[in-house]
Amino acid sequence: MSVIDWGIVAAYLVWVVWDGVRLSRNTKEVDGYLLAGRSLPWWAVGLSVMATQLSAITMTSTTGQGYADGMRFVQFYFGLPIAMIILSVTVVPFFYRAKVYTAYEYLERRFDVKTRTLTAVLFLISRGLSCSVIVAAPAVILSIVLGWNLTLTVLAIGVPTVIYTMVGGVQAVTWTDVKQMGIIVSGIVAAVVVLILGLPKEISLGTALHLAGAVGRTRALDFTFDIHQTYTFWSGLIGGLFLSLSYFGCDQSQVQRYLTAKSVDEGRQSLYMSAFVKIPLQALILLTGVLMFVYFLFRPAPLLFNDAPVARIQAAGLGEAYAALQGEYAIAYAHRRDAAEVLAAHDDAVTRDTFVTSEAGVQAVRGRAVDLVKQATGDASWTDVNYVFPTFVVRHMPVGLVGLIIAAIFAAAMSSIAAELNSLATATVIDIYKRFVAPNATDTQYLNVSKWATAGWGLFACVMAVFAARLGSLIEVVNRYGSYFYGSLLGVFILALGVRRANGHGAFVGLLAGMGAVAFVATTWSVAYLWLNVVGAVVVTVVGFSVSLFTSTVKTST
Amino acid sequence: MSPPVAPEIDDSRGAARFIPLFVGIVLVEILTIAALYWFGRYFGPA
């Protein structure tokens, strides 16, 4: 990276801390610190909602998915707009009227303390671990691609985020999110422009998309109803609906965003922004990956985009096999480039078949190289797709834009981490400290504990990130177990808001049954994970309602 | 710690006034999905 790019990244890190602290207002009371005194405009909250969801993993992994698999992943978001409509007429006004700090606080009023505590503790565990993953994932990628020290990269992401979140509370988080969203979108647009301008002169954008389409990269929709397939129209619409209802309606990291809005309507409008923009934005990010695929048809692409494990391949005595694969790859790559040029000049069945066959040849060699890495490292889930975008940025973007996009990856990571730290601190203080440790403490004490809780969770995330980064596939395990919780939590809120006869025992038993059912289904059937959200929500609702019928009397909701 | 003080909440008309917006959201989603379908068909394999 050039000095200019280093300067841009360093300037971003300094600016984000300074700006976050500068824009904080009325953070001397807990209400201002955790809920911004419910004073924020809908557009700022809406951008914050989107920035929270758009992490660095999205920038690296989603573009990588576009490169390797095409546009199909966009179906994941088809349930989101419907979820936003449902939440805006149910959960948003409800939480406003309840005047709560956390979603779980409401569950004690509606049910009992054990249901509140269980959901809050599950949130703290799953979000605490996922926060460390959000720090670790970009840190690992940036440290490998840029040759940085891993621990220092973790600290470069974590420390500035903790500082402005700790000092400025939710207002610092929201206002920096707004600007970080601008940086992220600018970075993505810059990458798209460079990719288009970087195509050979004889390859227009339309021709490039035809090349990508010839090998299935432009196909976005799959109407097959198959619960084993991860991304189909139906899994996205139905499973994605349940996931979005749970994530945006029951997860404190999102609920806290719209609780800061000026009014119920502004809270609603903040969600409508995601409803309108999310699918096109994700399509743009995936399209970036598709364009990278075409770009690397004509520009040298490495056999593996993450060559860090090559040393381990050598150490495992597989060096010769890997060297042979590199030779095969050079031939297959040249063959595919030639086939692409022929297809671009003359599109017919024969040229298409030749190109499709040559692409299969390249992927076969790459697949064997990945198998070698798996054999050498013992990591059966190893993949290099998350490294495609950072590799393109560092090796192919012009000076200045490299710094902008690295800053955008930082911004994406920091905006998600800040929201998570803020919500973790809120749940810790409101649902644990205030409820069980110090119910009658002063406002100042709660404020101080909130700040230290933010720092504590930040420290936890950074330390866990360093460990998680070294443990590799553990990251995937953590994410997977986190997904067990989402649908079940939604079920509890369905019972709370929609089933009058539901009581605390029913909700508590239903939650445990739902999580058990999700774990059982996930480990015994090969069901795509989006459907697990449906399983969890349905089991909790049915079991919770049934148990409620056989236990205590109805408790009136607030 | 005092409970969070919300500004006056006037939600007497509920979300009904947003119905045109809901229709807009659904229409935009249908159009987006249609555009993605066209995108896949137009640029995809013949």
pLDDT tens digit sequence for A188-219: 999 999 999 999 998 999 999 999 999 999 99
Return the structure tokens found at A462: 């950074």
pLDDT at A482: 64
Average pLDDT over residues A497-511: 91
Higher pLDDT, A124 or A380: A124
Judge whether residue A434 has pLDDT over 50.
yes
Q: Counting every residue, how long is chain B?
A: 46
Higher pLDDT, A42 or A229: A42
User: In this prediction, what percent of chain A has a pLDDT beyond 90?
Assistant: 49
pLDDT at B7: 44
| Interface touch A218/B4, C-beta < 8 Å | no
Higher pLDDT, A380 or A232: A232
pLDDT at B8: 45
| Interface touch A352/B5, C-beta < 8 Å | no
Of the listed ranges A49-53, A63-67, A263-267, A552-556, the least confidently predicted one is: A552-556
Note the pLDDT tens digit of each residue in A130-174.
Answer: 888 888 888 888 887 788 888 899 999 999 999 999 988 888 889
- Quote the CA–CA distance of A118 and A427 in Å, as a whole number: 12
pLDDT at A8: 92
Average pLDDT over residues A466-476: 63
Q: Is the dihedral of CA A386, A155, A21, A404 positive or negative?
A: negative
The ipTM assigned to this model is: 0.84
Q: List, as one string, the DSSP characters of A146-174.
A: H---HHHHHHHHHHHHHHHHHHHHHHHHH
- What residues have CB less than 8 Å from A58, skipping those under 6 apart? A285, A412
pLDDT at A4: 92
pLDDT at A290: 96
Note the pLDDT tens digit of each residue in A417-427.
Answer: 999 999 999 99
Return the structure tokens found at A368: 């064997």
Judge whether residue A479 has pLDDT over 80.
no
Residues A322 and A345: beta-carbon distance below 8 Å: no
Residues A257 and A48: beta-carbon distance below 8 Å: yes
Average pLDDT over residues A433-439: 92
- Quote the CA–CA distance of A10 and A202 in Å, as a whole number: 39
Interface check B33 vs A, CB under 8 A: yes
Interface check B20 vs A, CB under 8 A: no
Return the structure tokens found at A135: 């720090």
Interface check B30 vs A, CB under 8 A: no
Q: CA-nearest residue of chain B to A233?
A: B33
Mean of the per-residue pLDDT values of chain A? 88
Judge whether residue A380 has pLDDT over 90.
no
| Interface touch B46/A352, C-beta < 8 Å | yes
Judge whether residue A371 has pLDDT over 50.
yes
Interface check A89 vs B, CB under 8 A: yes
Indicate the helix (H) or strand (E) that contains A72: none
Interface check A82 vs B, CB under 8 A: yes
- Quote the CA–CA distance of A480 and A477 in Å, as a whole number: 5
pLDDT at A558: 44
In 3D, which of B32, B36, B44 has the Cα closest to residue A209?
B44
Rg, Å, chain A Cα set: 24
| Interface touch B9/A96, C-beta < 8 Å | yes
CA atoms within 13 A on the CB side of A395: 16
- Quote the CA–CA distance of A368 and A347 in Å, as a whole number: 30
Judge whether residue A473 has pLDDT over 60.
no
In 3D, which of A246, A225, A240 has the Cα closest to residue A90?
A246
pLDDT at B4: 44
Judge whether residue A476 has pLDDT over 80.
no
Say how many CB pairs under 8 Å bridge A and B.
Answer: 105
Judge whether residue A39 has pLDDT over 90.
no
Which band of pLDDT confidence, cut at 50, 70 and 90, is reported for residue A464? confident
Average pLDDT over residues A324-348: 92
Read off the amino acid at residue A227. Answer: I
Of B9, B26, B43, which has the smallest distance from its Cβ to A209's Cβ?
B43
Q: CA-nearest residue of chain B to A348?
A: B46
| Interface touch B44/A220, C-beta < 8 Å | no
A-interface mutation test, from B36, B37, B38, B41, most A Cβ less than 10 A away = B36
Higher pLDDT, A96 or A350: A350
3-state secondary structure A441-477: CCHHHHHHHHHHHHHHHHHHHHHHHHHHHHHCCHHHH
DSSP 8-state assignment for residue A62: I
Of the listed ranges A135-149, A358-372, A502-516, the least confidently predicted one is: A135-149
Adjacent-strand bridge partners of A40:
A261
pLDDT at A143: 85
Interface check B19 vs A, CB under 8 A: no
Read off the amino acid at residue A255. Answer: V
Q: List, as one string, the DSSP characters of A372-421.
A: HHHHHH--TT---GGGHHHHHHHHHSPTTHHHHHHHHHHHHHHHHHHHHH
Question: What's phi and psi for A261, nearest 5 deg?
Answer: -70, 155
Note the pLDDT tens digit of each residue in B2-30.
Answer: 444 444 444 555 667 778 888 999 999 99
Average pLDDT over residues A43-63: 88
- Quote the CA–CA distance of A220 and A162 in Å, as a whole number: 38
Residues A509 and A115: beta-carbon distance below 8 Å: no
Read off the amino acid at residue B27. Answer: L
CA atoms within 13 A on the CB side of A487: 31
Average pLDDT over residues A487-509: 91
Interface check A283 vs B, CB under 8 A: yes
* Cβ contacts of B40 on chain A, cutoff 8 Å: 71, 213, 218-221
